Amino acid sequence: MSGTPIVVIPGSAAPDAPAPATPRHLPNRGGPANPSADALKAKFAGAVQRVEVIWGETSVYVERLKLGEMVQWLHDDPSQRYDYLSDVTAVEYRDPEQPIEVVWHLRSLPYRRFLRLKVDLPLDGKTPLEVPSVWGVYKGADWMERECYDMFGIRFAGHPDLRRILMWEQYHEGFPLRKDFPLRGRFSRAEQLRQALAANPEARYSMEELTVAQAFEDLPEAMRKRLLGGERTGE
């Protein structure tokens, strides 16, 4: 019917990748770990704090500042080839003694592996809430890291444009997914509404936007001058 150029190819998995199967009867703790965990231990001896296998998923707790290097290696090394970043997020526990964990979920499409990397950020006031950005390795990390910053206040060093993404930029009630943030927000409903309505819906519809996106230099000279002179456009 559809004389279409659709081709059905069997997939790009490596020949020695395990045959996929629905996981069953996973143990709570233990079980076979992802082989990449041992490889990481061998390669970055001091930087791997511990490895846990929970419900069949391998979590590797790593040193905060070493993370960027490790992700780059996982991405590039031909025996690992973690080419797909599933997710970047964070977890804060109800117990304030427990550290905030930043979580990366990586997939190796050729070897059909799934790996979870974690970085502990203790809430002791001494450790900065900052981890290296993996944007240089995975372009897909851009918005996920922005969201993590927006919701938890965790900074990603090296991210090109770390702004709020879901909440508006003048939002100053705090970081909503932190445990000290009440479900209904810090302010009364009327105050929240007042602040929301005070926002100008056209606020970002302007050439200033471009300065944020590092595009200002590309504008024509005459236009740059006028903008620097304080002219507002688009409103």
Partner 1 sequence: MGLTARPSDNLARQDPSAGAGESWVATRLDFLVNWGRAGSLWPMPFGTACCAIEFMATAASRFDLARFGMERMSFSPRQADVLICAGRVPFKLAPVLRRIWQQMPQPKWCISMGACASSGGMFDNYAVVQGIDTIIPVDVYVPGCPPRPEGLLYGILMLQEKVKRERMSDTSLRNEMDPDPKSGLYIPAQAIDELSEPFGNSVHQTRSGL
Partner 2 sequence: MSTKRTVNVALGTSGLDEQGRPRRAPLTMNEGGTVTTLEPPPALEDALELEGEHMLINIGPQHPATHGVLRLVLELDGETVVRCIPHIGYLHCGFEKIGEYRQYNQVIPWTDREDYLNSIGNNVAFALGAERLFGIEITPRCTVLRVIAMELSRIISHLVWLGTTCIDIGAFTPFLWAFEQRERVYELLERWVGARLTTSATRVGGMAADIPAGWMDQLQHFIKTFPKTVDEIDRVLTTNGIWVGRTVGLGVMSADEAVNYGLSGPMVRASGVAFDVRRDFPYLDYETYDFEIPVGTNGDVYDRFLVRMEELRQSTRILAQAATRLPDGPVNSDDHRVVLPPKSKAMSDMESMIHHFKQVMEGPRPPLGESYVAVESPKGEKGYYMVSDGTAKPVRWRIRPPSFVNLSAIGKMVEGHLLSDVIAINASIDIVMGEIDR
Residues at the interface with partner 1 (CB under 8 A): 94-95, 167-168, 173, 176, 179, 181-185, 188-201
Residues in the chain: 235
Tell me which of partner 1, partner 2, none is bound by residue 72, counting a contact when its beta carbon lies within the kind-specific cut-off of 5 to 8 angstroms. none
Sign of CA dihedral 38, 42, 48, 49: positive
> Other CB atoms closer than 10 Å to residue 138's CB: what's the count?
21
User: Closer to partner 2 at the Cβ: 128 or 182?
Assistant: 182
Q: Please write down the long-range contacts of 5-13, taking CB distance under 8 Å and 24 or more positions apart.
A: 12/109, 12/110, 13/109, 13/110, 13/111, 13/112
CB of 151 to partner 1, least distance (A): 11
Tell me which of partner 1, partner 2, none is bound by residue 24, counting a contact when its beta carbon lies within the kind-specific cut-off of 5 to 8 angstroms. partner 2
* Span of 31-39, 60-68, 123-131, 202-210 interacting with partner 2 by CB under 8 A: 202-210
Footprint of partner 2 on 147-186 (CB under 8 A): 147, 151, 164-168, 176-177, 181, 183
| Owner of token pair 């930043």 | 102
- State the Cα–Cα distance between residues 137 and 129, nearest whole angstrom: 21
Q: Which amino acid is at 97?
A: E
Q: What is the DSSP letter of 179?
A: T
Tell me which of partner 2, partner 1, none is bound by residue 232, counting a contact when its beta carbon lies within the kind-specific cut-off of 5 to 8 angstroms. none
Q: Which amino acid is at 110?
A: P
Strand duo 48-54 + 57-62: pairing: antiparallel
Tell me which of partner 1, partner 2, none is bound by residue 77, counting a contact when its beta carbon lies within the kind-specific cut-off of 5 to 8 angstroms. none
Name 119's bridge partners. Answer: 102
Tell me which of partner 1, partner 2, none is bound by residue 15, counting a contact when its beta carbon lies within the kind-specific cut-off of 5 to 8 angstroms. none
Interface mask toward partner 2 for 83-122; x: CB under 8 A: xxxxx-x-xxxxx-------x-x-x-x--x-x-x------
Q: What is the DSSP letter of 29?
A: B
Name 107's bridge partners. Answer: 84, 114
Tell me which of partner 1, partner 2, none is bound by residue 200, counting a contact when its beta carbon lies within the kind-specific cut-off of 5 to 8 angstroms. partner 1
Interface mask toward partner 2 for 207-226; x: CB under 8 A: x-xx--x-x---xxxxx---
CB 154 within 8 A of CB 130: yes
Size of the site for partner 2 (CB under 8 A): 79
Q: Is 187 in the site for partner 2 (CB under 8 A)?
A: no
Q: Which amino acid is at 138?
A: Y
CB of 107 to partner 2, least distance (A): 8
